[in-house]
Amino acid sequence: MSAEGMERGRAEPAPGAVADTEMEEEFAALDVDAPRVGIVMGSKSDLETMEKAQKELESRNIRSEIRVMSAHRDPDTVAEYAKNAKMRGLRVIIAGAGLAAALPGVVAAHTDLPVIGVPLTSSTSVAGGLDALLAIAQMPPGVPVACVGVDNPRNAAVLAARILDA
């Protein structure tokens, strides 16, 4: 492994093998309409709020997709989505959840794409969404999740746009 390869902590591809990044670029180029931002949420009950993120992205001509998947109820679906996200051309993931809001952190555990968490209130929230806010913000070192304000998916979309533009 070269010094550069070691610095990145990754093994270089074997001679003749196609590097991950090349595959990802080719995959993204195949579908020019591929979404760049994935918007996921823990429940259908989050949809009305989280659609505001998609609206903000649409106003900026940024393609996105919306999926409902719970870190607790559908753990395998979440893991699969996060693991395949980069290969499918996604560049940022926005994840909204309420209560014990594990979804953003679990997504971040399965991808190195930037993940923006949106703490949400629900009918049984504690302290106006403080439960979800802490669950999303208090990630362990090495597995970061950006965290916007409670019920503020629009800020997540603005941040995603800035990441895409950086």
Total site size for ligand RP5, rule CB under 6 A: 11
- Minimum CB–partner distance for residue 150 and ligand RP5 (Å): 11
For residue 42, the number of C-alpha atoms closer than 13 Å in the C-beta half-sphere is 23
Smaller CB separation from ligand RP5, 43 or 152: 43
**8 Å CB contact between 49 and 96:** yes
Helices within 32-152 (DSSP H only): 47-59, 75-85, 103-110, 130-137
Smaller CB separation from ligand RP5, 43 or 111: 43
Among 38, 89, 98, 153, the residue binding ligand RP5 under the rule CB under 6 A is 98
- Provide the β-strand partners of residue 53: none
Pairing state between β 92-98 and 37-41: parallel
Smaller CB separation from ligand RP5, 62 or 120: 120
Q: Is 155 in the site for ligand RP5 (CB under 6 A)?
A: no
**Whose CA is closest to 49, among 150, 128, 126, 162?**
150
Amino acid found at 121: T
Which positions from 68 through 97 interact with ligand RP5, judged by CB under 6 A?
70, 97
Which positions from 44 through 63 interact with ligand RP5, judged by CB under 6 A?
45-46
- Minimum CB–partner distance for residue 68 and ligand RP5 (Å): 9
Smaller CB separation from ligand RP5, 73 or 162: 73
Residues whose CB is less than 8 angstroms from the CB of residue 11 and which lie 6 or more positions away in sequence, other chains included:
1, 5
Helices within the chain (DSSP H only): 3-8, 20-30, 47-59, 75-85, 103-110, 130-137, 153-165
Smaller CB separation from ligand RP5, 24 or 74: 74
Residues in contact with ligand RP5, shown as a per-residue x/- string from 25 to 44 under the rule CB under 6 A: ----------------xxx-
Q: Which residues bind ligand RP5 (CB under 6 A)?
A: 41-43, 45-46, 70, 97-99, 120, 122
